[in-house]
């Protein structure tokens, strides 16, 4: 008989209770005991829900107080020296200090979890002396069993994945570090085995990326050690986000089960099972329900996959599960009362996916007839949306096909455009600017809420937005910035704002997902063909420009970022969605230019996270991502300066593609990983305008002038001073006014010092 499971459940709660508890605790509104009690309540509610939905193997220790990778690091006492940790169980003050920074210590680097929009805290191994500070999986298992009678499945980040995602060690030390970590894992696993735990899920998603013979040897050594130490424990080696590399080697590892992704790695994983078979002594975790997408599954198609697997794996050795943790999807569709029935019926969030998994488990065990009515219902829902008018707009499809056949290029090369732009703007060396947004105070959020509720009319709200623009234009001039922004006070989110104004989008009421820490985002849903309807940013930007003689940048979110930060339709290729977005945004760029805006920033912070995990697929993705950006920006005049913003990425891996975007100026989020990026420029040249973020906006601390000067000096060792811009890491929406002004004043002073050196 097949069993059902998931790899993890969303932490945030149906009404973001988790986020609210974290922020109340950080603000001092909850004492630690109250905070702990609240999080336990949330955690137990989630476990009970899975039990009630019929999930057999319920994950525990997937819940986190911030981030599961940070949990693993602190469980092993891996705490950077600057936080003055003295051993033992890591206190919450230190735990949150690592994640968010303190007055005296910078936060640890934060980066994308593989190719998702979830961010993890990067462990710092330099100087660490790892030891088991507490057995977090054991605590989670005991809690579930004692409170709810659930015999849970503890979840751990695997040793190889943890090490590969860490920093602060040389690659030559990989084996030595594994020798230090493996005994700690063994200690945790032995304590779980003594407690009577049956199944443990060890996540090794690193095996879907490129791994070599040394990695295979390491995996063999790791899991042979575990098998010898805890032979009675059923270890499920879990992979996700793609098909596994080195399938035959992975399934030969001495574990009791292998979890594979049959959604994003469907074809390659199915082919591997057909070609090599599946070991008769192992259980297969079949990830057939999409843990990253929000669309209702065609249960008939999914059951077909399970039936194909059934040729190699008997149902009693099958676990029907999600393709990855449900961390990446909202909690439930239940409250989405404002969506059209056709659309709502085609959606499945975490709770609905639990039901789909339970149904498929029944179908895999008892046959199609046992779930015949459910199969028919799911197919009707899928087809209704697929055949809708919104998904079949001939005007959009024909226009995009015509544009896609052309090569989008600017009128003249950058070297010539730069002269025209400098003649027009007369900017000083090291121009200063910000990335776009300014603090969205409680007053701003309240005004938006009053407007959305209809308590304020449109004119009153527009007047309020103009007041905020006036305030921050004046502040920017007083601070001494060279290129200004209007502040984006009318925008809730850099993607949602545009989605609300474009055809083909719809918005959920409560479709929140965790991005990092307590930061939750509510991605738009691209459900139909995307089309431009009317100008989206011109009014506010034009008003801001009328209030100052300094240039004001128009601010747009780019096509790839809108796509990567939305839940997208799954019936056409992502490339086509990107081109539809680019065509719509091009019309907005042209509207800004016609309104007299001569600097236009098209932000693409999410290009890197959309990069396929498989090397063989990356060049094609980058080619059409670059084409989509250029399609958006290529029609402007030579003297119109195109900016873009990107978050930190493996710059040397993408430098050719980033240059090919042909933006006149790029700003890059770098402050948490400044040294690594500077090293990239020592090996690669960059010939266009560039600004490296000189301070971290994710932390409330105000960096000093000397600190920023040091970052500027390091960058100028490898970058052309004539092309260098100075700016913060990212937008400042989440920061307070006082700290923002103080930080920007320091940034401008650091710039003054740099100008004096390079005059």
Q: Which residues are catalytic?
A: 698
**What's the CA gap between 212 and 516, in Å, rounded?**
31
CA-to-CA separations, 398 to 392, 401, 439, 583, 627, in angstroms, rounded: 11, 5, 41, 11, 18
3-state class (DSSP) for residue 725: strand
Listed residue (539, 464, 460) closest to 497, CA to CA:
539
Listed residue (489, 500, 528, 495) closest to 513, CA to CA:
495
Q: Residue positions in the annotated binding site?
A: 16-19, 112, 435-437, 488, 519-520, 565, 603, 609, 645, 647, 669, 730
3-state class (DSSP) for residue 221: helix
State the Rg of the chain over Cα: 26
Q: Residue positions in the annotated binding site for Zn(2+)?
A: 645, 647, 669, 730
**What's the CA gap between 627 and 634, in Å, rounded?**
10
**What's the CA gap between 545 and 555, in Å, rounded?**
12
Distance of CA 251 to the CA centre of its chain: 29
CA-to-CA separations, 269 to 59, 75, 278, 308, in angstroms, rounded: 24, 33, 11, 12
**What's the CA gap between 9 and 44, in Å, rounded?**
12
Please, are residues 139 and 71 in contact by the beta-carbon 8 Å criterion?
no
Tokens of 5: 């499971």
Max CA separation in the chain (angstroms): 80
Which residue bears the tokens 């009707």? 380
Q: Which residues of 539-548 are buried (b: 16+ CB within 10 A; e: fewer)?
A: ebbbbbbebe
**What's the CA gap between 587 and 578, in Å, rounded?**
15
**Pairing state of beta strands 502-506 and 525-532?**
antiparallel
Which residue bears the tokens 């569709």? 333
Q: Residue positions in the annotated binding site for 5-methyltetrahydropteroyltri-L-glutamate?
A: 16-19, 112, 519-520, 565, 609
Please, are residues 346 and 295 in contact by the beta-carbon 8 Å criterion?
yes
């Amino acid at each position: 008989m097949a069993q059902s499971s998931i790899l993890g459940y969303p932490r945030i709660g149906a009404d973001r209770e988790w986020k609210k508890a974290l922020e109340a605790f950080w603000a001092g509104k909850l004492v630690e005991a109250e905070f702990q009690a609240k999080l336990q309540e949330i955690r137990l509610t989630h476990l009970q829900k899975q039990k009630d939905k019929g999930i057999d193997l319920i994950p525990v220790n997937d819940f986190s107080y911030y981030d599961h990778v940070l949990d693993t690091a602190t469980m092993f006492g891996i705490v950077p020296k600057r936080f003055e940790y003295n051993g033992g169980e890591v206190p919450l003050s230190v735990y949150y200090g690592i994640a968010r920074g303190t007055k005296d210590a910078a936060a640890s680097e934060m980066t994308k979890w593989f190719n998702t929009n979830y961010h993890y805290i990067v462990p710092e191994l330099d100087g660490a002396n790892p030891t088991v500070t507490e057995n977090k999986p054991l605590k989670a298992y005991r809690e579930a069993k004692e409170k709810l009678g659930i015999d849970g499945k503890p979840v751990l980040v695997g040793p190889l994945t943890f090490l590969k995602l860490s920093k602060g060690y040389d690659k030559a030390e990989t084996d030595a570090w594994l020798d230090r970590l493996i005994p700690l894992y063994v200690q945790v696993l032995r304590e779980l085995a003594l407690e009577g735990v049956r199944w443990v899920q060890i996540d090794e998603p690193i095996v879907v990326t490129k791994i070599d013979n040394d990695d295979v040897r390491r995996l063999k050594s790791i899991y042979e050690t575990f098998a010898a130490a805890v032979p009675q424990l059923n270890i499920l080696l879990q992979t996700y986000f793609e098909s596994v590399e080195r399938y035959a080697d992975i399934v030969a590892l001495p574990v009791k089960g292998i979890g594979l992704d049959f959604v994003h790695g469907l074809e390659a994983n199915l082919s591997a099972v057909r070609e090599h078979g599946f070991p008769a002594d192992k259980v297969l975790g079949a990830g057939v329900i999409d843990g990253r997408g929000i669309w209702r599954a065609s249960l008939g198609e999914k059951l077909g996959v399970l039936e194909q697997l059934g040729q190699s794996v008997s149902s009693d050795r099958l676990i029907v599960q999600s393709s990855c943790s449900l961390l990446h999807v909202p909690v439930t569709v239940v409250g989405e009362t404002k969506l059209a029935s056709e659309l709502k019926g085609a959606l499945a969030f975490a709770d609905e996916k639990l039901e789909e998994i339970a149904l498929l488990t029944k179908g895999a065990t008892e046959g199609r007839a046992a779930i015949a009515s459910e199969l028919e219902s799911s197919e009707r829902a899928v087809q209704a949306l697929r055949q809708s008018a919104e998904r079949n707009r001939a005007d959009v499809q024909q226009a995009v096909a015509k544009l896609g056949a052309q090569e989008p290029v600017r009128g003249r090369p950058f070297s010539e455009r730069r002269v025209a732009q400098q003649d027009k703007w007369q900017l000083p060396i090291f121009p200063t600017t910000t990335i776009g947004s300014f603090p969205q105070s409680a007053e701003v959020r309240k005004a938006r809420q009053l407007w959305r509720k209809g308590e304020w009319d449109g004119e009153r709200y527009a007047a309020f937005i103009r007041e905020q623009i006036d305030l921050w234009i004046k502040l920017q001039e007083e601070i001494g910035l060279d290129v200004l922004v209007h502040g984006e006070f009318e925008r809730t989110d850099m993607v949602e704002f545009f989605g609300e104004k474009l055809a083909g989008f719809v918005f959920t009421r409560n479709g929140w997902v965790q991005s990092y820490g307590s930061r939750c985002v509510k991605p738009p849903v691209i459900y139909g063909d995307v089309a431009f309807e009317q100008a989206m940013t011109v009014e506010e930007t034009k008003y801001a420009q009328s209030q100052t003689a300094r240039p004001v940048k128009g601010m747009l979110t780019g096509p790839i970022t809108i796509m990567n930060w939305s839940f997208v339709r799954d019936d056409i290729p992502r490339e086509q969605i990107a081109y539809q977005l680019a065509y719509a945004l091009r019309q907005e760029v042209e509207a800004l230019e016609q309104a007299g805006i001569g600097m236009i920033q098209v932000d693409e912070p999410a290009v890197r996270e959309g990069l396929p995990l498989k090397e063989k697929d990356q060049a094609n993705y980058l080619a059409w991502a670059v084409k989509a950006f250029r399609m958006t920006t290529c029609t402007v005049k030579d003297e119109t300066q195109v900016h873009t913003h990107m978050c930190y990425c493996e710059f040397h891996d993408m430098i050719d593609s980033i240059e090919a975007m042909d933006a006149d100026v790029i700003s890059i989020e770098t402050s948490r990983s400044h040294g690594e990026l500077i090293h990239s420029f020592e090996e690669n040249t960059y010939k266009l305008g560039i600004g490296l973020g000189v301070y971290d906006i994710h932390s409330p601390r105000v960096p000093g002038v000397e600190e920023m000067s040091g970052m500027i000096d390091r960058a100028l060792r490898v970058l052309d001073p004539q092309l260098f811009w100075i700016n913060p890491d990212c937008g400042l929406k989440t920061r307070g006014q006082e700290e923002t002004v103080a930080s920007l004043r320091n940034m401008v002073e650091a710039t003054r010092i740099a100008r004096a050196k390079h005059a």
